[in-house]
Structure 1
Amino acid sequence: MLFDLPDDDVLYQALLTRDPAYDGFAYVGVSSTGVFCRLTCSARKPKRENVTFFDSIAAALEAGFRPCKRCTPLALPGEQDPLVQDLLAALDAEPERRWSEDDLVARKLDPSTVRRTFKRQFGLTFLEMARLRRLGRGLDRLAAGERVIQAQMEASFASGSGFRAAIARHLGTTPSQVHRRALLRADWLETPIGAMLAVADEHGLHLLEFVDRPALPGELTRLKARTDSEIVMGRTPPLDRIEAELADYFAGRSLHFATPLMEAGSVFTRRVWDALREVPAGETCSYAALAVSVGQPSATRAVARANGANQIAIVIPCHRVIGSDGSLTGYGGGLWRKRWLIEHERRQVVAATHGDAPPVPEAGQASAS
């Protein structure tokens, strides 16, 4: 960029008025649709909380957004290079294809010419664009609740490690950022009810969430800002420990967690989280009862907000909080998982009491109950 973009409020107003002044210099990603557009797009305008602005096509693609078919942000004003038109059409026709330089040669194209042309116009090469489009398809599948291997296959990655590495790049870490900032390590932890993402430093666990949680991207962004860190895929002792404890938890061997936690929240929020850990496994409580336990019986709504702000699922057991009428209430990982976790813990407590461990229920059984 030859200039800095104005703040997001100015850009959002430009989006509402379809101001052409930023055409080619600013793009908007819409989280509710997963696409990115020109600010002049004729589509119905999204809500302010659902948009993210980018200063380049490459940045929008790297964030996992697909180009809008209505405003075609990949097309430049005026006549476009036939080489670019042909390859963009091919990419739209087969977004899951694993393109290579051999494919370009088969189309009687010079890979170096294609590389220079796309780099000059879009800020990234054609092969990089194709990889990001495949990654975007995989992210869509994760958001839809599919397992990592299904998302990996949808994205046409040959190996899980390759897909995870691409997701790591999707987090936004660059070599220059790695050298400038502290690092948090993240890894995928498979569970019977879906993959989880765990983030930790050398001292404790910062985040543990199901990867299909809609709020996860925002949580990662806030975590990086709060800790002035970048997140890369890797391992630390707390990650090894939480993986082992989760394995014991889901196998019914133990409902206890001792992994050190790096909690971030107000004094009141941390009091609520402490109270959550005091709710016995196999039991539930209401928001009102939780408010009483922290000494503020009139603060039910504040307790609910603190419960929702929890970024360390299962270990800080916000799934044990239900409505005063006994109904299941909101849970970031999905109500079916909340039901599964409550039932799983109840069965383990009953088994411990009677000395007979029941089988761990399948995720499909829990979601159907």
Structure 2
Amino acid sequence: MLFQRPDDDTLYDALIARDAGYDGFAYVCVRTTGIFCRLTCSARKPKRENVQFFDTTAECLHAGFRPCLRCRPMMGSGEAEPLVAALLEALEREPERRWLEADIVAMGLDASTVRRAFKRRFGMSFLEMARLRRLGQAAERLTSDDSVVDAQVEAGFDSGSGFRAAVTRLLGEAPAKLRGKTMLKADWIETPIGPMIAIADQHALHILEFLERKALATEVRKLQAVTGSAIAFGRAAPIDQIEAELSAYFAGTSAEFATRLAPQGTSFERQVWDGLRRIAAGVSVTYSGLAGEIGNPAAIRAVGRANGANPIAIVIPCHRVVGASGDLTGYGGGLWRKRWLLEHERRIAAGLTRLVTRE
């Protein structure tokens, strides 16, 4: 049974009481400060008329609120909760398994606690995530010419029409049309500032975005249209490589990325993205400066549009571009992330400089 969110008055009472029983079911957004928090946050409590509640951190970010630095609603620091890590590992071992709440209980876990933990971290339950993985496995079988009925049974669907509708929503194609198509893989990557989704083939990374980015769905459709490929949840070598490189990046030990990239864009956009990759970590440039660097100083607005169309966050560092006054400008992952990344890279650059000086 899916959890039904209590009404706002009940949630406000939980906020005042810092009731941990509601933690993860909803988040409070404070209009007067522009910040969103957990219901258990220790900050001073706002008035009832100044708050609104959302089910997920993604909704809070889409509404323009930024995460509280005190209660860290994005769960940005440290490793995933042990129960989350354990279930993700189990899902990796058996992505084709039809997981039920009974399976979670059999592992000695509380089903409602698991729901809250996954909702906090991913905006979806573990069972929803497992369903997506089953669909991905089924889609792979379809591209290898297995029958639709066999793939349906393998994915755990009793209804043929339900299976076809679910695959179509996920991959944008009816099951029968997937046969013979090249299959791209998509998977989650955890970072200290929120989960990202990576999409790749066996040779290169096509998309790396924060899950809250509004343009993500458009980028996925564009990728499918250009490549003629379908997308299933799973792992490809470039995803493993970029995950390892991001781990070193967030640990502050390296700002270098060697994963092969294949972003879909016009020749001008790719020229801008190449220019972005030449900006060193710890350095920021203006749009006019970037336009001059690529040899087209009059194309400031076009450079801005290309910067915003970048489908590979962090690795193609569009966050290193600022306004002419030095102010932070728009960023698809949210301005708070842009500020975080620039400060993080400043510290990386300073640490590497000290290391070279000592040597």
TM-score class normalised by the smaller sequence? 0.5 to 0.7
CA RMSD between the two structures:
2.8
Deviation of the 1:287 alpha carbon: 0.1
Q: How many angstroms apart in 1 are the aligned matches of 2:292 and 2:218?
A: 31
Bigger Cα displacement from structure 2, 158-167 vs 277-286:
158-167
Structural mapping, 1:13-24, within 5 Å: none
Match for residue 227 of structure 1? 227
Task: Tell whether 2:149 aligns with 1:150.
Answer: no
Match for residue 239 of structure 2? 239
Tell me, yes or no, if the aligned pair for 1:142 and 1:151 is still in contact at 8 Å. no
- The letter of the residue matching 1:191 is T
Deviations 1:273-305 (A, max 9, x none): 111111110000000000111111111000001
Tell me, yes or no, if the aligned pair for 1:277 and 1:317 is still in contact at 8 Å. yes
* CA shift in 2, pair 1:352/1:152, >3 Å: closer
Match for residue 318 of structure 2? 318
Task: Tell whether 2:356 aligns with 1:353.
Answer: no
Bigger Cα displacement from structure 2, 305-314 vs 259-268:
259-268
SS in 1 for 2:329: coil
SS in 1 for 2:183: strand
Deviation of the 1:157 alpha carbon: 4.1
Unaligned residue ranges in structure 1 (runs of 5+): 1-93, 98-137, 357-369
Deviations 1:306-334 (A, max 9, x none): 11110000010000000010000000000
Tell me, yes or no, if the aligned pair for 2:181 and 2:229 is still in contact at 8 Å. yes
Match for residue 159 of structure 2? none
- The letter of the residue matching 2:337 is R
- The letter of the residue matching 2:130 is S
Tell me, yes or no, if the aligned pair for 2:118 and 2:124 is still in contact at 8 Å. no
Q: How many angstroms apart in 2 are the aligned matches of 1:197 and 1:153?
A: 11
Larger Rg: 1
Match for residue 100 of structure 1? none
Instruction: Using the aligned pairs only, state the percent identity.
Output: 49
* CA shift in 2, pair 1:153/1:213, >3 Å: closer
* CA shift in 2, pair 1:180/1:163, >3 Å: closer
Tell me, yes or no, if the aligned pair for 2:58 and 2:123 is still in contact at 8 Å. no
- The letter of the residue matching 1:271 is Q
Q: Flag the structure with more relative contact order, 1 or 2, with Cα contacts below 8 A and sequence separation at least 6.
A: 2
Tell me, yes or no, if the aligned pair for 1:276 and 1:317 is still in contact at 8 Å. yes
SS in 1 for 2:306: helix
SS in 1 for 2:187: strand
Q: How many angstroms apart in 2 are the aligned matches of 1:221 and 1:210?
A: 16
SS in 1 for 2:245: helix
Q: How many angstroms apart in 1 are the aligned matches of 2:194 and 2:57?
A: 13
Structural mapping, 1:146-225, within 5 Å: 149-150=118-119, 155-158=124-127, 161-162=130-131, 169=167, 170-172=169-171, 174-225=174-225
* CA shift in 2, pair 1:335/1:292, >3 Å: same
Tell me, yes or no, if the aligned pair for 1:149 and 1:160 is still in contact at 8 Å. no
Q: How many angstroms apart in 1 are the aligned matches of 2:188 and 2:123?
A: 18
* CA shift in 2, pair 1:154/1:310, >3 Å: closer
- The letter of the residue matching 2:118 is I
Q: How many angstroms apart in 1 are the aligned matches of 2:127 and 2:245?
A: 30
Dislocated runs of 4+, deviation >6 Å = none
* CA shift in 2, pair 1:181/1:163, >3 Å: closer
Unaligned residue ranges in structure 2 (runs of 5+): 5-53, 62-73, 76-116, 137-165
* TM-score, normalised via structure 2 length: 0.57
Deviations 1:260-280 (A, max 9, x none): 011322222111111111111
Instruction: Number of aligned residue pairs: give it.
Output: 223
SS in 2 for 1:291: helix
Match for residue 334 of structure 1? 334
* CA shift in 2, pair 1:295/1:156, >3 Å: closer
Match for residue 45 of structure 2? none
Deviation of the 1:241 alpha carbon: 0.5
* TM-score, normalised via structure 1 length: 0.55
